[in-house]
Amino acid sequence: MSYYLGIDIGTSGTKSLLIDSEGTVHAEASAEYPLHQPRAGWTEQDPEDWWKATIRTVRQVIQIAKCKPGDVRAIGLSGQMHGSVFLDKQDKVIRPALLWNDQRTVAECDEITTRAGGRKALIKMVANPALTGFTAPKILWLRNREPRNFDRLAKVLLPKDEIRRRLTGEYASEVSDASGTLLLDVVKRKWSKRLLSKLELDPDLLPPVYESEDVTGTLSKEAAETLGLTTDCKVVGGAGDCAAGAVGNGVVKRGILSTSVGTSGVMFVHSDTPQYDSEGRLHTFCHAVRGKWHMMGVNLTSGGALQWWVDSILQGLSGIGKKDRYQGATNEAANAAAGSGGLLFLPYLNGERTPHADPSARGAFIGLNTTHQRAEMTRAVMEGVTFALRDSLEIIRGLDVPVREIRASGGGSKNPLWRQMQADVFGKKVSTLEVEQGPAFGVALLAAVGDQAYKSIAEACKATIKVAEQTPADRKATKTYNQLYPIYQRLYGNLKEDFAELAKLQ
């Protein structure tokens, strides 16, 4: 039998999953790792942790599925986008990777916009404005703030592409993840020589860029031995986790929107041509589907807000272990009514991207009174995150993009309360699929396409993706949320200047 392996280098951990050519999942495994915050607004991870989690989870799935090494024909890689792995000439990691939600590059975003000749000129070259989380500002930050490290710099890789290097010995990226560097000509699907030259960056810093289903190499002898696989096993381009999740959710045509509550929150729609939000609130990136694009809105702290609330503030619930902590907290939240007794939560704990693009935005509970208990506060955190997703939905609807179906994914959407809340806040039924590991499943499908088990990604999705459950909106709850949402929307504008003052003091 032929098997395909999907590996997703997420922010909270790595997930690996093994499917056969019919798309049946034979094994799944995950391993968590820490996120380091040396200062407020800075987020870093050690690429070595991703590699160790990759080895551990791949060995686990091979063991669970009891497959022969030679039966694993191809691997697809997915991962958190925008992160910067800085390598020297000997392929040594120079410093910890800066992540997608790191906010230290405000000055470098201004520098990029100026060097490009203004925001409009920049968007013309790379389809997007400069945002702190993207990769190009991180490279400039290294040049400006750590010149000795910059002098050693030979290659910059995205998180999943660093894992590819360790698997195959090859430097390579693919169009969907490369779009989030701010250095890709998204329309032409190749590196923007023009912008690289304006930024005085050597194009050799970047790896060759492929389409997502293309084979970029095979396992090296060392990697094959470490993982218990063979050197015939191919590695395909794969995709950034948002596009990979969209493939795993079957969002490969217009009309379906996917929402993801992972550490970040994502609202994703397919487009047949490059389509733009004139205000730059949504990103316009290449899709993992050849010759197609997508738009998405991204919230920097989504499931991450519940993680912060449960781990840092509640610090566990009596009698509930770490593994069940989210379920324990959300079971309690289910005892509070929709609307959390008029308590609102702004989830901008790490600044925000869509719709505010403001690194200084901060989190807040608004409307507290003495009747509010822990249940209301936990529920308000979940509702605040869901309102933030609705902000992206409203922008997408405003651009006349058809939204006939909403598919919910990510760790948070495994939770029935959060699924119901999404349906109620969006005022529309949400579906979930039989396979919940969106990005890992998506890139396992890309691996199957790369191995020619399917003619196209669309064909692979049609054959393998099945809706498991539909959650209709509850009218009464939707009415409550429709009263609260306009207040939620106004709060950021009312607090913006105070957030900026506070951020300076943190």
Ligand X SMILES: Nc1ncnc2c1ncn2[C@@H]1O[C@H](COP(=O)(O)OP(=O)(O)O)[C@@H](O)[C@H]1O
Instruction: Output the known binding site.
Output: 81-82
DSSP code for 84: B
**Minimal distance, residue 302 CB to ligand X, in Å:** 7
Find the part of the chain contacting ligand 5SP (CB under 6 A) among 261-269, 379-387, 390-398, 462-470.
Answer: 261-269
Does position 80 interact with ligand 5SP (CB under 6 A)? The reply is yes
Write the single-letter amino acid at 342.
Answer: G
The bridge status of strand 255-261 relative to strand 265-271 is: antiparallel
By a kind-dependent CB cut-off of 5 to 8 A, residue 155 interacts, out of ligand X, ligand 5SP, none, with none
Looking at the Cβ atoms of 168 and 259, the one nearer to ligand X is 259
The single residue among 411, 422, 423, 430 that binds ligand X, judged by CB under 6 A, is 411
The single residue among 6, 137, 262, 363 that binds ligand 5SP, judged by CB under 6 A, is 262
Q: What 3-state DSSP class applies to 87?
A: strand
Does position 306 interact with ligand X (CB under 6 A)? The reply is yes
Question: Binders of ligand X among 168-187, rule CB under 6 A?
Answer: none
By a kind-dependent CB cut-off of 5 to 8 A, residue 13 interacts, out of ligand 5SP, ligand X, none, with ligand X
Does position 301 interact with ligand X (CB under 6 A)? The reply is no
Find the part of the chain contacting ligand 5SP (CB under 6 A) among 257-265, 360-368, 450-458, 487-495.
Answer: 257-265
Binding residues for substrate: 81-82
Token pair of 408 as six digits: 């919910």
Token pair of 431 as six digits: 């579906």
Distance CA 480, CA 487 (A): 12
Cα separations (Å) of 230 from 1, 69, 235, 410? Answer: 15, 6, 12, 31
| Main-chain dihedrals φ then ψ at residue 390, nearest 5 degrees | -65, -30
Distance CA 396, CA 388 (A): 13
Looking at the Cβ atoms of 107 and 334, the one nearer to ligand X is 334
Of 350, 348, 414, whose CA–CA distance to 385 is shortest? 348
Find the part of the chain contacting ligand X (CB under 6 A) among 16-24, 155-163, 339-347, 409-417.
Answer: 409-417
**Minimal distance, residue 50 CB to ligand X, in Å:** 11
The CB-based long-range contact list for 160-163 (8 Å cut-off, 24+ gap) reads: 160/7, 160/9, 160/77, 160/78, 160/79, 160/238, 160/240, 161/77, 161/85, 161/207, 162/47, 162/50, 162/51, 162/85, 162/87, 162/93, 162/97, 163/7, 163/9, 163/50, 163/51, 163/54, 163/77, 163/79
Distance CA 78, CA 8 (A): 4
By a kind-dependent CB cut-off of 5 to 8 A, residue 412 interacts, out of ligand 5SP, ligand X, none, with ligand X
Residues paired with 163 in a beta bridge: none
**Minimal distance, residue 119 CB to ligand X, in Å:** 29
Catalytic residue, candidates 177, 241, 277, 391 = 241
The single residue among 11, 103, 192, 437 that binds ligand 5SP, judged by CB under 6 A, is 11
Token pair of 345 as six digits: 């939560």
Total residues found in the chain within this entry: 506
**Within 10 A of 271 (CB to CB), how many other CB atoms are there?**
16
Does position 54 interact with ligand 5SP (CB under 6 A)? The reply is no
241 among known catalytic residues:
yes
The single residue among 240, 265, 355, 412 that binds ligand X, judged by CB under 6 A, is 412
Does position 133 interact with ligand 5SP (CB under 6 A)? The reply is yes
Binding site for ligand 5SP (CB under 6 A): 10-11, 80-82, 100, 133, 180, 241-242, 262-264, 266, 298
Contacts with ligand X, residue ranges (CB under 6 A): 10-13, 262-263, 303-304, 306-307, 326-327, 330, 410-412, 414-415, 418
Active-site residue set: 241
